[in-house]
Structure formats: structure tokens, C-alpha cells
Structure 1
């Protein structure tokens, strides 16, 4: 490739030679041959004159010049209407195959040019005298690409993955499968990308396939094998009789084409599909996004939601910016006035090492590498101000060898390695465009360090020495403690043999534990994405007590719970947190909160970030069997263990009683969290006090009992209960009025709906119960103070709140109120109950009443008054009353209560 200085010089010479030409018929072909020569391209190799096509009317048309899939040129005599020439060019499109459609149309009358970018809709017009000033518009001819703004929603990413997915399926169908198919697809990916981005001469791969293979596809595999073999050999090692069309391919190295693969097999349909892949603009495809999409083509269950499984760049930046990028950018701003300091800083960033021990297709490494390269280019701009940057091969020091990864599956590990090469090349092209000199790292002498293996079993020091490493980052797999396979459980246990509580931790915690051990005694900074479960409930105490107290780490930054989504089709949403930690104590700890769980974060400085990701002391809250502060006990509801056989809707119960009247007195209203929130009436057959003689008089009830016995016999966990089929599996019926608190409630509500029930009701295990609860307790549990504690200390089911008596209620510190304050809280509690009853009588459910969007004004104000009275009882006088401030206050109370009661 020519550098821009040479191209611009040739453009000026071209203008001088052709600025006075007028005769289209006599000189047009010479004009366009010379035009391509400006960019160092032989027109004969890429484009043809007078390409015959059928117009929409069925007549023969002749395109002045066609570079298939890239450029269509329509030429007119001087002074002719160029807009009409453009319309004529568009009329040829129906006669072209999909793969032949151009990305650009160029029309000219010798004196003027008009260039149409068909993908963006841009149009640029200029005179031949202005040609050299607009030369960058034709970077696509020379092999240069302007800076790409990759869009996650760009259809080309999904279209490319879909076509590669179809090719994968067809190869697999003919028997080409397994490891060879995976390597084959990665090689094709590299070649397709190389053909569009300047690694190869423009379109030589596509042209070779079109011109040298038969239309029936019978020899396509042979020719692909020949290309792979050629790419693996230096020019001097190739046979002297090799064809010129093969010998034009460069030596790639990097071991990408080293392994000999069996020949695949293609047919006409597969060849056509492959040519459609070749016709896509691979220069617009993002390696970060496409890698995960490409991986998903191998998994039929993910194919339906193609694009739902990559990690969006926006979320990756939430990790890498606070981990290292913000700090490096700040340092760059401080040194950019000094050449010497800039050079030292440049050396620093070129020596940094990054490690993703669950790298998948390399998304985090790719974006981190790109950002480091962009920073390097900013450094070079400062160092080369006022002069053209020469010898980019010496100036560009950041390379893929600084990046390390572990991936358990072979295919994504291969994609990660190739994707890092591809992003490296994209950045080289951007540097070439920026500094006016072509630079490419071919053959591939620098190699990313991606290891195919089990990250929880591998010694990380064998991948990269911790004494050389600077940053660990990534998005380890999310699998709940109760959903791991036996293999995964053993993998997790292998991280910390004999670690107490390991079986209660989610799979992702293995990476946190391993990182805490590996980074001991170093300045390495780590940042992982995780499900929010590891900073909630019992897991928070088990995991972080080890990381804080045993390994001596501190949290430097944290993103509280947010929805981890992307913009592709079939959005995959997970409720996540991000934690950045290291052994050094942070000088500038930051918490990112999400007022809208799907929105943008708000950053606040913190003195200390604890395991719940709030600015509060590192106090570990563990489950308790008895309340620390509350007077009343909160207990679980009953578990029928019946496969819902004892349970009836109101209509089902009425129908049953109509047929078996004696059963009516054994039906009791039955309520769980769902029934409470949505005002659903259900019943259960409660036979604890039913004498055997009476049971025999009720054949329908007896049949229910038999069904329960059979159900329990078929369930390993309930088989012992099969001998007691008239009883609930776990009976916690209180036979007293009680206050019900749902186990699970929507994240969208600021307040968990709770309600009183009479003693006839039976509480399910989806509802906690407090027998004979006072209005004062109702008021405290409905307060913002208690809700803030619940949100931080409790667990989540997906994003929904998951209440716990042993963790939330039993550890909650109640105020020490005066008698007058108790009465004030009870008054507001009763006011809330009266307002609710008014709306419930008119068929509103608690789900309706506590929907933040439609919550009645009087109910909202009643809760505000309740909060005011509860805050007075706590002597809580903070001006700012966010959940975080409330929890910090409650942690102080908790710490004082524990100290006073030792």
C-alpha cells in the first residue's frame, strides 16, 4: 500500500494530465486506468469495463466500469448531467447478483466527480482540481479505512454471523464437524476480514474464489486448502511453480494456518453462500461483538437469539474505565506537555499486562486493547506535532502480547486469539490513516496469550507471572450455587480445599477467591462482573470475609445492581454488579449507583466500600435463629409437599364441596406471597385434625390423600413423608392472627406489600408470618428504614427482592422509642391500613396500590408520614435520606448493638 503522501502526489499529477480532457469515448478507459494507478492499484486486477447486465426492462445494459461488490463507475462527456448518470448507474442494480452490488457509485465527466456511499447515504462532489484535497474519500480503494464507529445494532454484525452460521450447518451436514470445522471457520473468518481491511490486497481472496473455482463448488475445498497452505509459507519457501494468483497471498504465520486439516466438501449452494459472505463489508464488523455472535452459531439453542450473548461495549467500559483507563487518561493529561515524560509514559503503557481468566471470545481484552491503542495514538500525536510520523513500526509499541486469557472451550479460545489480531490490524489501519504511512503486522510475529483450559484448575502463574501482571478483568460464568453440575461443584471446591461455606457460593465466586489468592503481595488490580448474589444474603459474609480479612483486599470501585443488557436482538438481561478490588487501600473509592436499574449510573465517592457495596463498615451479617432487636418472632410458612394436590382455587373448592359436603370444614384459606400481592383467594385441604373414621366417609378426600402419597413416593426428598399423606410436609400453622411478609417481591416497588390475616388462614412457605403482630411492627416493617436494610442485606431472585427472616429481620436493629413515639407510629400504620382497605373494597390489589406509577396519592403521603415518625424514633436527623445513607446509619447501630451486648 502507498502512503498518503505518495497518493496525494499522484493525484496532483493525475489532475494535471486530465483536467482538460473532454472526449468520453476516446479517453475514458485510460482516464480510469490512471485513476486507479493513483492508489497503486491495477484496474485490470479489480475491475472490468463494459460489464453487460440486464436492466429492469429486460434490455442489455453496459456498466462503464464495475468492481464487483465495491464500486460502480458511470462516465459521461464533459458538461453532462451527473445526477442523471447516477440514476442510470442505479438502473443496473436489478441485473447484478447480491454479491456483486457495489458499496459506492462514482460518476464523472472528467471535470467533476460525485461519490455516493450507498451504506451511509453520503454524497460528496468536487472538481478534478480538488481531487487531491478529497483523496481520503477513496481510502477504500487503497486499502485504508477511516476510524470506524462500530455500532452494536449494526445489521452487518448479525448478517455476517447468520451467514457463517448457515455455512457451519451445511458443512456439518455433509460430515465436516468437530475440531476441524471450528478451526476451518476461524480461518475463513480471518481471510474474509483480511480481504476487506488491507491485510490482503483488496479483494484478492474473493476474486480468487470467483475466478478459480467451479460454480458447482466441487473444487472449492481444494482451493481453500491451497490458500491456507500458501498463507502458512514465507514467499521464499513456496514452490517456484506456484500460480501467480496464489502467490499474491502474504505470509501470515501466527500458527493460524499451521495445522493440516482434512478437505471439506462444498456444493453449488454452499459456494454461493460463501461468496455472499465474501461480499459483506467485513471492515465494518466489530471483532468484539462479532466474536460472541460467531461462537453462538455453534450452539443451536443460542441461534434463535443471535446477538443476545455478546457483552455490550457500554458494559465492558464500566469495568475497564475505573480499573485502569481513567487513571491512565488522567496521567496522560498531566504529562502531555513534556516530550520526555510522554516517552516514559509511552514505555509504561507498552509494558502493562492484562489478564482475563474467563475470556470467552475475548470481548474484554479486545476493548481494553483498543482503548490502549487509542491512548497510544494520542501520545504519538503529541510527540509528532508539526511533523509526519515516520517508521510506525518503531513508534507503535503497544501490541497483543501484553494480553492474556484463559478459556475452557477451544472454539471461543481460537476466536479470541484471532479477534485480537483483527482489532490490532484495525488499529494499525487507523494509525496508518492518521499518520499517513501504511503499517501492517504481517507476518503475525506478536501473538496474544490465550490458553485453552479450566481457569479454576490452572495455576494462573503458569499463564502469566503475577509479578509481571497489572490488571485482571472479565466476566466469569454465572451459575447459582444450587444449579451447578457435579463437575462445576468440584471445580469450585478445588479453588479452596476445605473452605467453610464453599458449597453455598455461586460458581462466579471461584474467580474472586482465586484472584484474591493470586494477587496477594502485589499491586495487581482486579475487576469482575458478577451476579449480585455474591454481595447479598449469606454469600456476602462467606466470600468477602475471606477476601477482606484473610487476604487483606479492599474494594476500589463498585457498580451496584444494574441490568446487564445489550442492544442486539433477543436481549439477554441479567442483574449484575461490578467489583474492582486490590490489596492497596484506595485513595479514591467510588460507588456507582443506579436510580434506574436499567439507566445510567451516578458516581459517588466513598470512604470505605463494604461487601454490600455501600459506604459503610465491613460488618459481616450472618443468619440468626433469634431476633437481635425485635420482640416478635418471624417464622416460615408451611410446606404442603403435595405437588399442589391439596391446593384449590375458590371455584375448585366450591365444586369439590358441592360433591362432598363433609369436606367443607377441612378447607382453610391458604395464602402465599403471590396471593397476598395480587388478592387471589385460594384454599387448601388441611386434614391434621380429621379422624380416620371421618376420612373414610369422604371418598373424594381419600382420593386426594392417595394422590399425595403417590406424589411423595416419586420424589426422593419427600419419600419418607409418603407414610403421612394426610399431613403437610412441614406444618407451621399458627392458628392465630398473623402479619404476612412475601418471600419474593418485585424490584419495581419501593415498599414490599405486607398484610394481616385472620387465624383461619394458613401461610405457605412463600410467606413469612409474625403471629399477633402489633401495628407498631407493621409500621416499622413498612418504613423506608427497614426497606433500605432489606434491599442491601437481602438476596435477590433475578432482580426481585428476596426477604429472609434469619438474615434481614433477625439482624435488623429496631429503634428505642418513647411511648409517645410508639403511638405515633401505630397511628400512621393504622392510617395506611384504613386507606388500603378503602381501595381493596373497590377491587384494587396491593400490586396496584404499590405500583410506583399509579400508587394513590393519599397512600403515598401516609407512607411519607410513617417514615417521618419512624425516623424520629431512630433520632435519624440526616438531611440526605437515600437508601445508602440509611443503611450506613443502620450499620452503625448494628455495630454498637453488638458491642453493647457482648
Structure 2
């Protein structure tokens, strides 16, 4: 469930007659608990409550329904209950059906309210559904409620008016919803004369069955598009009841006034939505939450577009707001300096070329208005209107509904700021009529010319649109001047790795990169925004910062994208290393993102931010930030055919290319009926990544050249070798056809089978705290689905098992979806290792042995079992901790403080390792061992 669904369920529960016996289970159901879990609680199987009338859900909440007037005493009993402590409950809640009290045992916050009002505090309980507590939602549930009400109305209207759901009419439907949102807001903020005029009129003039609601709305919309002085001559004449509505203009009510037909239910939804406290709406929150309402594919994810204000400020503050605040502090009460800052802000443009519903733009506007208000206060000019034009907050959005909501959100934000800083009277006096200028372009940001939307100087090109809200595709015209101001580009563009890009999106990237690099197909879609921003910054004073998946600063994308960005004269001015960007979906850990700010005029001291697990932000000033988001010199880690230090060589395992005829499961092997002598002669265990991690047993036929004749004549093995030969001969690849000559052997054979082997999975889950490297005895064959170090000293395993190596490969190799993607040429061969003494190697060998012994103590647990981060055995974790301590003391004489410090040291060593040649040599493909049979 998401936050919108939870709010609706809680509101419905509060409307039902209070049922003391049923309440705890209905409450838990509202937060997404399944019927099976609730059935177990009802039966008492999982309910260990020791409080009368109590229901206890382990690791979640202890609820008790009590007699009237005893809520406070019951809550105290829940708090002191041994069962609450033992079950690690996060919340306690007591109610008698008249009053409700609850407490967050983790943070200590409490809630007390009348029972019917507890839905107003649903945000307090969101952690029960696995949703991170969001301050804006906790403090003010209007945005979630409004989203839910608008969604119900939208769905009901489309059900009754299927033609409005077609591509031809979808824009009309979205435009109608934008009109409604404006009317609701105007009703709640005295813009409509402070009487609730809109909802009152709909209720009074409309039939209860909704049959004429569309006609009433059409008349209201028409009235707001006719100037007051012209209404007397309007044809057809407006009815008297419509003359109370003001003239709005701005294109919002121009054009067609068609309204979809209403049912009784649709009319009810309309009145319920209008009855909310729209004065309290947060345009930056509501806009991003309602974004999914008009999208059939995304409607099930209502609220998941929500981006918290603190996360948006992670982009905007270091991009430019921190500098403005610093200038405000430096100005003090100096009127001249304050005036200069105000004039500077009036010329700053904020541009989001993937603006969605405009939340980045709205937050930027509100933050700048706050600074401007403080300037006016210090100068004694609180009466002044704002000099920050809304037209300086510009965006591009592909879809028309979010684009309309973005414009509306900015208009609402401007009005709210005017009320806050100038007073209701002045705000109302200047709000209407709306200005028809448009600042949000609807189109493909990677195809449009950003300079035409935010030109360096002078006026821009003209909008194709005639008004504020018509928003056809491919607009290219803005007509407001901003001579010589700064431009700050920001936003959260679509990420989309190459696998998930549509043909059109691939074509977008091709148009940007094809003349710059032949490797553009490997880039994430978001790379297009970074390149366009860098190109834009070569023409005018600008800086840019985007939220992105961390993959653009890892692995193969680094040498493709970042040299191109740096070639434009841009550098990384600030960055946030990887952190979770959560949303309002239940039990959603969020995508791992970074924030990267680029500028051609970056300050000497760059800022590198990191976010701890508890959400605290740490900032560090550094001289330079490289493309891997590490403090240090610009360096790109390139593939190396051989290790750059004295570590052992790593290569792929052996590749069968056999059509499956050389490989067997345990049961398949037994069904062959081979003698024990033949098994010992021809059968070996084979291990790849999946077998090693999951503990699966597989076997293979492994034949030495001198045994080939005997094997071909064998009644069981011989026919299999013939099938291998046929399979290879039928291949379209010449190299595979040649392999038919040695059909008794793996096509690519990289071991004799008599070596000990250190095995490294080619792919491993990023949730593990350590890379699950292993040690295999002689006779084990490693498949090409894993890497291997043959007859390598065991201390190599200690290096691979370390935290140092894990973060190195995570950075320079990158990830496949959410898994580490290992590479021998770029992850192992480039791994910076200081000169090791014999004692160092002995100590690391002991550490590797201790890790293996700790694993053996839990036989037959698999690697997947042992390295589950939640259930990792203590002795195994201690062995790894000891390994990390021994290795890190070799590097710097102590433990590293964090991963940031680890990476800084590794890149420092890598830079020294490759300084003689400037960089590591490109990879050379290893030749395959092939012998004639």
C-alpha cells in the first residue's frame, strides 16, 4: 500500500461505528497487513499481549481497547508492559472509541486526539506500513487526502466518460482537473470572495444525481473567462448566480469549457474534495503526489512521485541557495549590500529540464522569497512586492498534465508567499487576473534547445502556446528578458539504464552523443541531461545539479561520460555519494542515488556530502572531486590485462560450449550408471557463481587428451562427446566449429583440474557486507560463470574478502541491476595493494583461514545463508572484522573511519601506481587454451 491508500483506509475506519473487538484488526488492515497475518492474531497464535483487550504485533505495535475514560492508564500499561519490550514494538496505541492516544516508542513522540480525528494523524503511523516518516506529511495530511480524492473523482469520471480517456481528449481531461484544483484552492483562500463560492454554487445549483453538474461547471468556467466589464454583453448571457465569480484569465479558463458528465458518485467525490482545507495545500508536495493521477500505468503508485523537501534541498542548497544565504549573512544590515543581493536574485533563473509537476522549481521559488523577505525586513521595506519574477522559474516536461500542475503549483506558491510576507489583503489585490505568460515548456528535453528556453541574454523565443495552460508539444517560445543573470539547472531526470530504454530514448542519447563517442549505448538515460547541461554551460554562466542513479559514477560509464563533460570546461563542484531516495510506498527501501553538481566556475573548495544510515548529512571540503565522487585527482580507472601489483593473476573459469552434454546434476550423474572407476577418471565437480553461492552440486565430464580415445569409445561417454561435436559443427561461429576437433574437452579450458582455486563470483548481491569469495580443493572445475585464481597463495583471498576490495569493485566495476558486477581486468588487476612483507602475507593467510574455519563451523549452511546480512553468524562476522583490521593497518596503520576514507586512499594509491604511464593500459583479451585432440 502507499500513503494515499492508507489515508483512505484510515478515514473509512474512523467513519464506521466503533467496534471494540474489531478495531485493532481493522486498524492493522488499514496499514496493509494481510488477512493471513490478521487471522493468526485473531486466533491468538501470534498475539502475545499481556494487557487486557490488547493485540500485539511483533516488531510493530501494541494496541489495546479499553473502558471509557481509561485511555491514559491503558497507554501507561502498554508502555510498561514486558510483552511490549520483548516484542520490540515500535508503537503503542490505546482507545476507548472516544479518545485515542498513541506513542512512537522509538522517537518518543505522542499523539492525543478525539477518536473521529485520528485520521488527521495518519502520517504519524506511516512507519507501521514500512514508510519512512515524512515531516511534511505528518504535520499536514491535506496533500495526501487531496490526492486520494482527486484520484477517485478522476477514475469515476473516466468510467462515465470513456471518450475522455482517449488520446484525443486526454488533454481536455487533464486541463479540466487543473481547473478544478485552482477552484478548490481559490475557494479555500478567499480568492473567491471568502465564501466557499465554488463548492457552494455546485451544491446549490446542481441536482443531487449529478445530472446537471457538468452544465453548472461549464457556466462557472465560462464566467471566469469573461472580464467583469464585458459580462453584460456576453452571449449567451451569464445567469446571475455565475456573476459572483471573478475574472481569472491566464488561459486557465479560455478555450473549450466542456466538462465531462457526472454521476451521483462523481458529484459526491467533487464535493468531498472541495471540502478539504485547500488553504493548507503544499504545492511542492501536492503537485508531485498528484502526478500519477492522470497516468493509467502509474495510478497504482499514487504518492510515490513525492519528493521530500529535505531531499530537494540537497540539490538546491549547495547549487546556489547556500551562497545566497552566505551573502545575506555577510551583508548584515548594510542596505547597499542587501539591495545588491536583492537585485541579483531578481535575475537568477532556475531551470528544471525534467520538471514533472514542478516541485524543484516551487521549493527554489519559496526559498528565494524567504531570503528576499528577510532583505526587505532588514531594509524596512516589508510593504514592497516581490522583485523575483515567476517567469524566472522555467522547466521542460514531456507530459502535459504534470506540466499544467507545475504552472499551477508555481502560481499557488506565489500567492502563498505573498500572503505570508505581504499579507492577505495585498496578495488578493494582485492575484487576479492571472498572467498568461508561460514558463513550462511541454516537450522532449533531450531534443529541445535549452538556450531557446533560457537564453544567455535578452529575450527568448516565443511560445507556440497562446496562453498559460494550453501547452502543446514542442513549444519554443518565451518572451521575458533577463539580461545577464545566472542560470541554475536542477532536477531529477529519468534514470533508465540502457536495458530499459525505449527505441525513442536510445535515439535521444544517440542524437547527443553519437559524434562524441561510439560507446554511448552503455550510458544511462540521465547522462543526456548532464551532457546537455554541460553544453549549455559553455554558452552562459550556469551551474547544474541532478539526482541520478550512482551507476553513472561507477564502472564502464565513467570513462564514457565524464571525459566528455570535463572537456567542456566543467568540473564537479559538489556531490552527494550514494544514499537511499525513499518515497511513500510501503516497505520500499528506495532507489540508491547520488547528486552531482557541475560548473565551469566551481569554487576552489568543493563539497563532498555523505548521508549516514540514520539520515545525518556529513559535509567535507575537498580540493577536487573525481568522476567516481571521491576526493582526489581526476583519474579514470581503465582495464588492465595484468595485475598492476604483486597479486596473483585472475581469469575466467573454463567454458564448456557443449550444448549441455558435458554437464550433469547429481541425479543425472547417477542415472548414467558409470562405474566408480570411470567416475574417478572422468567426472569432476564444477562450480560457477550460482553453485558456489547457493550450494548447488553439479558435475562435468573432464577428459585429459591421453584419455580421449578411450572416452570416445566408451558406451556412455562416447555418444555424449559425439553430441558435443555435432553441436559445435552446427554453430555459425567459426571458432566454435573448430572446437569440434576436441569435443572431449571444454572449448575454453583454463585449468588442469589439479590446482587449488580461489573462486570469485562474477555477480553478487549488493546487500551483502562482504564479497563471498571461496577456496576450492584440487579437482574442482571452475566454470566460465565465475572468476578463478589458480594455485594462488591464500592471502589473495583475504584481499578479495575485505571491505576495501568490496567498495573498490562497487565503484570501478559498477553494478548489474542491484548486484555487484565483478571484473578481473578492471576490479582485480587495478586493485591498489601496497608492498606486502612476508609477515603481512602470513597474517592475511591466517585471516583467510579463519574465515574458512568460521564457515565450516556452520556446515551445511550455504554461502547465501552465511552472508545474509541479517543472519550472518557472529563468528564469521568477527573473522571478517579481524581480516579488515589486519589489512587496513597494512594500508594506513589503523582502521579506516568510513568508506569515503577507504576510497580516497585507494584512489591515491591507484594514481601513484599508474603515474608513470599516465594510466593503466587497455585490456588485452586473454587467449584461450586450445589443443588438438
Both structures adopt the same fold (TM-score exceeding 0.5): yes
- 3-state SS, counterpart of residue 395 of structure 1: coil
403 and 701 in structure 1: CA distance in 2 versus 1, 3 angstrom threshold: same
What residue is the counterpart of 2:264 in the other structure? 268
What residue is the counterpart of 2:100 in the other structure? none
**What is the Cα-based RMSD across aligned positions, in Å?**
4.0
Q: Are 2:239 and 1:222 equivalent residues in the alignment?
A: no
**Per-residue deviation at 1:203?**
1.6
What residue is the counterpart of 2:605 in the other structure? 588
What residue is the counterpart of 2:643 in the other structure? 627
676 and 466 in structure 1: CA distance in 2 versus 1, 3 angstrom threshold: farther
Q: Are 2:152 and 1:184 equivalent residues in the alignment?
A: no
Q: Are 2:573 and 1:553 equivalent residues in the alignment?
A: no
187 and 683 in structure 1: CA distance in 2 versus 1, 3 angstrom threshold: farther
What residue is the counterpart of 2:693 in the other structure? 677
1:419-498 paired onto structure 2 within 5 Å: 419-433=409-423, 438-445=428-435, 447-467=437-457, 468-498=485-515
- Bigger shift: residues 776-785 or 399-408: 776-785
Aligned residues of 1:668 and 1:686 also touching (Cα < 8 A): yes
719 and 412 in structure 1: CA distance in 2 versus 1, 3 angstrom threshold: farther
> Distance in 2 between the 1:190 and 1:644 partners?
65
> Distance in 1 between the 2:205 and 2:354 partners?
42
- Bigger shift: residues 678-687 or 364-373: 678-687
> Distance in 2 between the 1:700 and 1:269 partners?
73
> Distance in 2 between the 1:786 and 1:176 partners?
53
What residue is the counterpart of 1:108 in the other structure? none
What residue is the counterpart of 1:399 in the other structure? 389
Aligned residues of 2:142 and 2:276 also touching (Cα < 8 A): no
> Distance in 1 between the 2:823 and 2:810 partners?
11
Aligned residues of 1:565 and 1:572 also touching (Cα < 8 A): yes
253 and 882 in structure 1: CA distance in 2 versus 1, 3 angstrom threshold: same
Q: Are 2:411 and 1:418 equivalent residues in the alignment?
A: no
Alignment deviations for residues 621-664 of structure 1 (CA, whole Å, 9 cap, x no partner):
122333322453222345678999987664x4467457999997
Aligned residues of 1:466 and 1:518 also touching (Cα < 8 A): no
- 3-state SS, counterpart of residue 652 of structure 2: coil
1:581-660 paired onto structure 2 within 5 Å: 581-596=598-613, 599-637=615-653, 650=666, 652-653=667-668, 656-657=671-672
Normalised by the length of structure 1, the TM-score is 0.74
Aligned residues of 1:156 and 1:281 also touching (Cα < 8 A): no
Aligned residues of 2:885 and 2:894 also touching (Cα < 8 A): no
Aligned residues of 1:308 and 1:571 also touching (Cα < 8 A): no
What residue is the counterpart of 2:314 in the other structure? 318
**Per-residue deviation at 1:605?**
1.7
Q: Are 2:235 and 1:239 equivalent residues in the alignment?
A: no
> Distance in 1 between the 2:664 and 2:612 partners?
41
Q: Are 2:362 and 1:373 equivalent residues in the alignment?
A: no
Aligned residues of 1:522 and 1:583 also touching (Cα < 8 A): no
Aligned residues of 1:639 and 1:728 also touching (Cα < 8 A): no
> Distance in 2 between the 1:323 and 1:644 partners?
56
Aligned residues of 1:307 and 1:569 also touching (Cα < 8 A): no
- Bigger shift: residues 632-641 or 599-608: 632-641
1:687-698 paired onto structure 2 within 5 Å: none
What residue is the counterpart of 2:276 in the other structure? 280
> Distance in 2 between the 1:737 and 1:794 partners?
26
Q: Are 2:188 and 1:170 equivalent residues in the alignment?
A: no
**Per-residue deviation at 1:698?**
8.1
Q: Are 2:848 and 1:829 equivalent residues in the alignment?
A: yes
What residue is the counterpart of 2:206 in the other structure? 213
What residue is the counterpart of 1:502 in the other structure? 520
- 3-state SS, counterpart of residue 537 of structure 1: coil
Alignment deviations for residues 40-64 of structure 1 (CA, whole Å, 9 cap, x no partner):
xxxxxxxxxxxxxxxx9xxxxxxxx
> Distance in 2 between the 1:484 and 1:641 partners?
31
**Per-residue deviation at 1:255?**
1.4
- 3-state SS, counterpart of residue 651 of structure 2: coil
> Distance in 1 between the 2:794 and 2:625 partners?
36
> Distance in 2 between the 1:424 and 1:382 partners?
21
Which residue of the other structure, out of 292, 296, 308, is the alignment partner of 1:296?
A: 292
560 and 437 in structure 1: CA distance in 2 versus 1, 3 angstrom threshold: closer
184 and 341 in structure 1: CA distance in 2 versus 1, 3 angstrom threshold: same
- 3-state SS, counterpart of residue 558 of structure 1: strand
**Per-residue deviation at 1:518?**
0.8
869 and 272 in structure 1: CA distance in 2 versus 1, 3 angstrom threshold: closer
**Per-residue deviation at 1:459?**
1.0
> Distance in 1 between the 2:598 and 2:119 partners?
47
Q: Are 2:382 and 1:363 equivalent residues in the alignment?
A: no
**Per-residue deviation at 1:608?**
1.1
Aligned residues of 1:197 and 1:426 also touching (Cα < 8 A): no
What residue is the counterpart of 1:352 in the other structure? 348
- Bigger shift: residues 205-214 or 426-435: 426-435
Aligned residues of 1:634 and 1:809 also touching (Cα < 8 A): yes
**Per-residue deviation at 1:792?**
2.8
Aligned residues of 1:669 and 1:682 also touching (Cα < 8 A): yes
**Per-residue deviation at 1:569?**
4.5
1:638-787 paired onto structure 2 within 5 Å: 650=666, 652-653=667-668, 656-657=671-672, 668-683=684-699, 731=748, 734=751, 735=753, 736-787=755-806
Which residue of the other structure, out of 838, 844, 863, is the alignment partner of 1:819?
A: 838
> Distance in 1 between the 2:270 and 2:727 partners?
59
Which residue of the other structure, out of 171, 185, 188, is the alignment partner of 1:193?
A: 185
Q: Are 2:558 and 1:565 equivalent residues in the alignment?
A: no
> Distance in 1 between the 2:738 and 2:397 partners?
47
425 and 668 in structure 1: CA distance in 2 versus 1, 3 angstrom threshold: farther
647 and 316 in structure 1: CA distance in 2 versus 1, 3 angstrom threshold: farther
172 and 375 in structure 1: CA distance in 2 versus 1, 3 angstrom threshold: farther
573 and 149 in structure 1: CA distance in 2 versus 1, 3 angstrom threshold: closer
Aligned residues of 2:415 and 2:427 also touching (Cα < 8 A): no
Unaligned runs of 5+ in 1: 1-55, 57-114, 123-146
**Per-residue deviation at 1:700?**
11
> Distance in 2 between the 1:381 and 1:478 partners?
42
174 and 339 in structure 1: CA distance in 2 versus 1, 3 angstrom threshold: same
What residue is the counterpart of 2:145 in the other structure? 156
Aligned residues of 1:591 and 1:603 also touching (Cα < 8 A): yes
> Distance in 2 between the 1:518 and 1:294 partners?
31
Aligned residues of 1:637 and 1:763 also touching (Cα < 8 A): yes
Provide the aligned length of Structure 1 versus Structure 2.
750
**Per-residue deviation at 1:606?**
1.4
What residue is the counterpart of 1:305 in the other structure? 301
> Distance in 1 between the 2:736 and 2:244 partners?
76
345 and 653 in structure 1: CA distance in 2 versus 1, 3 angstrom threshold: same
Aligned residues of 1:647 and 1:685 also touching (Cα < 8 A): yes
> Distance in 2 between the 1:229 and 1:685 partners?
82
**Per-residue deviation at 1:743?**
2.5
Q: Are 2:559 and 1:541 equivalent residues in the alignment?
A: yes
Normalised by the length of structure 2, the TM-score is 0.72
> Distance in 1 between the 2:201 and 2:678 partners?
83
What residue is the counterpart of 1:86 in the other structure? none
**Per-residue deviation at 1:328?**
1.6
340 and 752 in structure 1: CA distance in 2 versus 1, 3 angstrom threshold: same
**Per-residue deviation at 1:848?**
4.7
Alignment deviations for residues 840-879 of structure 1 (CA, whole Å, 9 cap, x no partner):
33x34434544556555554454454445444655x3467
116 and 784 in structure 1: CA distance in 2 versus 1, 3 angstrom threshold: closer
**Per-residue deviation at 1:478?**
0.8
